[in-house]
Chain A
Amino acid sequence: MNTLTQENQVSMDGSLQDDHNHDDGHHAPPSGIMRWLLTTNHKDIGTLYLWFSFIMFLTGGLMAMVIRAELFQPGLQLVDPNFFNQMTTVHGLVMVFGAVMPAFTGLANWMIPMMIGAPDMALPRMNNWSFWILPFAFIILLSSLFMEGGGPNFGWTFYAPLSTEYSPDSTALFVFSIHIMGISSIMGAINVIVTVINMRAPGMTWMKLPLFAWTWLITAFLLIAVMPVLAGAVTMVLTDKYFGTSFFEAAGGGDPVMFQHIFWFFGHPEVYIMILPSFGIMSAIIPTFSRKKLFGYSSMVYATASIAILSFLVWAHHMFTTGMPVFAELFFMYCTMLISVPTGVKIFNWVATMWKGSLTFETPMLFAISFLVLFTIGGFSGLMLAITPADFQYHDTYFVVAHFHYVLVTGAIFTIMAAVYYWIPKWTGHMYNERLGKLHFWCSVISVNILFFPMHFLGLAGMPRRIPDYAIQFADVNQIVSIGGFAFGLSQLIFLVVVIKCIRGGEKAPAKPWEGAEGLEWEIPSPAPYHSFTTPPVIK
């Protein structure tokens, strides 16, 4: 079998694969904790990432519960304002860097090798590292909450001088944890790029590549481009605060507005990092349950690439109110609106895929369809925010909060859940409980709208974001929002139950549990064996 493998791997990194097969191929993995600590197996690492992400999702969710409990009534009831600010800050950081991004990396680890017919990720040892430094980053970040003076309280955007002049003593810990998260993301991204470029099965040409691999490849390039810029920004904050530099300190000749330019040069591509893999997941699920081929495959690829390129030209739409010259305001307004064109192309393609398909509505499809509707709402509120003069009213209000939760929760997180329901039979070898899955979906989709939709009205009526107290005319709507929040939080426990039940047992899953599914991952038995595609498949 080995000779056969090697013969077929001429187009790949022969020596590395060879080495890997000898290492792991003929031995059982070590057992106990060491299996997980030392693992270089893409499936193990994918599982670690996914569990880590879920734990962070619940941690960040708990902080959101604190926020919504405080905002249930006007006035200060439960927490003091400084702690409230720490909750909004760390909630944002944990959800962005701890929940969404690791979930996508986990899915990439599990699925990309199986989708492109590769035996593992290209750089398995680095893969181990990129996961295992992550828990330390979050231990550092979360532990700063318990220090004297508290944890970061300057918002996930850590604008200077809030993060320099006025920040708590623990800011260095925040900086180091961001550095570690950045290193982890970059290693993950390098791994995806090398894997997709070098390890595709013979015959898998670029235009046959599954869209999840495509969108992740482009995301990985975005990550490599902007994570170092974030690292630069936190380093400047560090030296400004502790070593007397004045990058952002006006008194020393620096410029605080420059912080916002540097941050958003990272920040806007970052929001696309959190949505492009979702587009890939959608492009896998919608055709399966429509029993049709994806409409407009190549336009999807080009749309993804153009979104990625354009995402470098729109950062200042977060800064319309900083007093930019009119020319810049217009430039960034038009570029931002331009981005919604390729996004619209994608939405159109998914709808066209469903058109006249024979649809069924299993849980993954339900989440995918609700993504289609709710993400589009988020796109529209984004367009409203992109109109410069209108943004002067909306900026820093709950309208912005509504916008980015529609694109991130009902966008990114809903597709992550869809992906879990879609591929979990492959991971565990069992079908999940469809009734519980549907219950999870309906509870989530109803409560998420009670949670986030009224925020649009709060914002339009002028309620600022990131405040622990508010004027009494906002009381009723905030109460509704908080109830939606608690309901959404509780609904996610159903998800936990579904996943645990599915790992423990359930109806046996066939190799291809979904009738309309296409792709190499469904040619492997369920559960996927520890080593798959050690012999590359032949692609017609």
Chain B
Amino acid sequence: MFGFGFALVPLYDVLCDQLGINGKTQNSASQYIDNEIDKSRLITVEFISQVQNNMPWEFIPQVNRLQVHPGELVRTHFKAKNLSNLNIVGQAIPSVSPGRGAAYFNKTECFCFNQQTLAAKSSADLPLIFYVDPALPDNISTLTLSYTLYNITDKGYVDVLEQGAAK
């Protein structure tokens, strides 16, 4: 049963992944298929950003809310600024609400796929390119994408997310 405790970890990941239930988006770029753009529907996409306590960055979305048609490729960015006098490595972790919508939120490019390094006092625009899958269930009209930014400067994490994607 001790082993079972640990076995719960991969089990949990597989279950969440298969059922698409905990709002995790995919960790790697998805291919943009030239979808039929569904002009009849408008989906509201909201952006939220949070910075973990010990992270000396400013981190805000360029726009808070966008109206998009399913299938349409959209580009936006988040503004990041390192307020400290040190070089800092950050990792943004996305989460989509409602959780069921996460599987339909496809990113072809995202700063969250990689660790981001900002030199002292510098700033950057972090790009995000996405489209909403036209198969998005009818009862979902708003998707909220939240990023939490973590300071991983001293953690020595290899790009774990990327590694997961490479497998």
Contact of A261 among B12, B150, B151 (CB under 8 A): B12
B100 and A325 contact, CB distance less than 8 A: yes
Interface residues of B in 1-27 (CB under 8 A from A): 1-6, 8-9, 12-13, 16, 19, 21-23
With a cutoff of 8 Å between Cβ atoms, the chain B residues found around residue A250 in the complex are 93, 148, 150
| B161 lies within 8 A of chain A by Cβ | yes
| A252 lies within 8 A of chain B by Cβ | yes
In the assembly, what is the distance between CA of A283 and CA of B5, in Å? Answer: 34
In the assembly, what is the distance between CA of A251 and CA of B157, in Å? Answer: 9
In the assembly, what is the distance between CA of A328 and CA of B150, in Å? Answer: 29
B100 and A232 contact, CB distance less than 8 A: no
| B86 lies within 8 A of chain A by Cβ | no
A246 and B100 contact, CB distance less than 8 A: no
| A255 lies within 8 A of chain B by Cβ | yes
In the assembly, what is the distance between CA of A402 and CA of B129, in Å? Answer: 50
The chain B residue with its CB closest to the CB of A230 is B5
A252 and B5 contact, CB distance less than 8 A: no
In the assembly, what is the distance between CA of A230 and CA of B22, in Å? Answer: 23
B155 and A244 contact, CB distance less than 8 A: yes
In the assembly, what is the distance between CA of A468 and CA of B132, in Å? Answer: 46
Q: Mark A196-216, 1 if CB is under 8 A from B, else 0.
A: 000000000000000000000
The chain A residue with its CB closest to the CB of B22 is A257
In the assembly, what is the distance between CA of A328 and CA of B19, in Å? Answer: 11
CB B107 to nearest CB in A, in angstroms, measures: 17
B1 and A229 contact, CB distance less than 8 A: yes
A229 and B5 contact, CB distance less than 8 A: yes
In the assembly, what is the distance between CA of A227 and CA of B4, in Å? Answer: 11
A228 and B9 contact, CB distance less than 8 A: no
With a cutoff of 8 Å between Cβ atoms, the chain B residues found around residue A235 in the complex are 5
The chain B residue with its CB closest to the CB of A251 is B150
A228 and B2 contact, CB distance less than 8 A: yes
With a cutoff of 8 Å between Cβ atoms, the chain A residues found around residue B82 in the complex are none
Interface residues of B in 129-167 (CB under 8 A from A): 148, 150-152, 155-157, 160-161, 164
| A32 lies within 8 A of chain B by Cβ | no
With a cutoff of 8 Å between Cβ atoms, the chain A residues found around residue B164 in the complex are 253
Contact of B5 among A251, A262, A324, A328 (CB under 8 A): A262
CB B87 to nearest CB in A, in angstroms, measures: 17
With a cutoff of 8 Å between Cβ atoms, the chain A residues found around residue B4 in the complex are 228-229, 232
Interface residues of A in 390-429 (CB under 8 A from B): none
CB B1 to nearest CB in A, in angstroms, measures: 4
B160 and A253 contact, CB distance less than 8 A: yes
The chain B residue with its CB closest to the CB of A258 is B12
B5 and A231 contact, CB distance less than 8 A: yes
B22 and A255 contact, CB distance less than 8 A: yes
B8 and A261 contact, CB distance less than 8 A: yes
The chain B residue with its CB closest to the CB of A229 is B5
| B91 lies within 8 A of chain A by Cβ | yes
B152 and A252 contact, CB distance less than 8 A: yes
With a cutoff of 8 Å between Cβ atoms, the chain A residues found around residue B22 in the complex are 255, 257, 323
| A233 lies within 8 A of chain B by Cβ | yes
| B99 lies within 8 A of chain A by Cβ | yes
Q: Mark A219-253, 1 if CB is under 8 A from B, else 0.
A: 00000111111111101100000001011001111
| A371 lies within 8 A of chain B by Cβ | no
In the assembly, what is the distance between CA of A189 and CA of B8, in Å? Answer: 24
Contact A251-B93, Cβ < 8 Å, known A323-B99, A325-B100: yes
Contact of B160 among A224, A226, A246, A261 (CB under 8 A): A246
A253 and B161 contact, CB distance less than 8 A: yes
Contact A262-B155, Cβ < 8 Å, known A232-B2, A253-B164: no
Interface residues of A in 283-336 (CB under 8 A from B): 323-325, 328
A233 and B5 contact, CB distance less than 8 A: yes
In the assembly, what is the distance between CA of A255 and CA of B93, in Å? Answer: 11
With a cutoff of 8 Å between Cβ atoms, the chain A residues found around residue B8 in the complex are 229, 232, 258, 261-262, 265
With a cutoff of 8 Å between Cβ atoms, the chain B residues found around residue A227 in the complex are 1
Contact of A324 among B3, B13, B21 (CB under 8 A): B21
With a cutoff of 8 Å between Cβ atoms, the chain A residues found around residue B52 in the complex are 251
Contact of B1 among A228, A251, A324, A325 (CB under 8 A): A228
Contact A246-B23, Cβ < 8 Å, known A224-B1, A229-B4, A232-B6: no
Q: Mark B86-107, 1 if CB is under 8 A from A, else 0.
A: 0000010100010110000000
The chain A residue with its CB closest to the CB of B148 is A250
Contact of A246 among B2, B6, B148, B157 (CB under 8 A): B157
In the assembly, what is the distance between CA of A325 and CA of B20, in Å? Answer: 10
B97 and A323 contact, CB distance less than 8 A: yes
With a cutoff of 8 Å between Cβ atoms, the chain A residues found around residue B91 in the complex are 251
Q: Which of A226, A232, A324 has the most CB of B within 10 A?
A: A232
With a cutoff of 8 Å between Cβ atoms, the chain A residues found around residue B97 in the complex are 323
Q: Which of A233, A251, A252, A328 has the most CB of B within 10 A?
A: A251
With a cutoff of 8 Å between Cβ atoms, the chain A residues found around residue B100 in the complex are 325
A247 and B9 contact, CB distance less than 8 A: yes
With a cutoff of 8 Å between Cβ atoms, the chain B residues found around residue A247 in the complex are 9
A226 and B1 contact, CB distance less than 8 A: yes
The chain B residue with its CB closest to the CB of A166 is B53
CB B56 to nearest CB in A, in angstroms, measures: 15
With a cutoff of 8 Å between Cβ atoms, the chain B residues found around residue A257 in the complex are 22
Interface residues of A in 260-286 (CB under 8 A from B): 261-262, 265
With a cutoff of 8 Å between Cβ atoms, the chain A residues found around residue B21 in the complex are 324-325, 328
In the assembly, what is the distance between CA of A252 and CA of B148, in Å? Answer: 12
With a cutoff of 8 Å between Cβ atoms, the chain B residues found around residue A244 in the complex are 155-156
With a cutoff of 8 Å between Cβ atoms, the chain A residues found around residue B161 in the complex are 253
CB B37 to nearest CB in A, in angstroms, measures: 29
In the assembly, what is the distance between CA of A447 and CA of B72, in Å? Answer: 66
The chain A residue with its CB closest to the CB of B23 is A323
CB A263 to nearest CB in B, in angstroms, measures: 10
In the assembly, what is the distance between CA of A86 and CA of B151, in Å? Answer: 27
Binding site for B on A (CB under 8 A): 224-233, 235-236, 244, 246-247, 250-253, 255, 257-258, 261-262, 265, 323-325, 328
Known interface pairs A229-B8, A232-B6; 7 further A-B residue pairs with C-beta atoms within 8 A, sorted by A's residue number = A228-B2, A244-B155, A250-B150, A258-B8, A258-B9, A323-B99, A325-B100
Cross-chain pairs A/B with CB under 8 angstroms, 8 sampled: A228-B2, A229-B1, A232-B8, A251-B157, A253-B161, A258-B8, A323-B22, A325-B100
A-B complex: 10 closest residue pairs judged by Cβ atoms: A232-B5, A251-B150, A228-B1, A253-B160, A228-B2, A229-B5, A250-B93, A251-B91, A325-B21, A252-B157
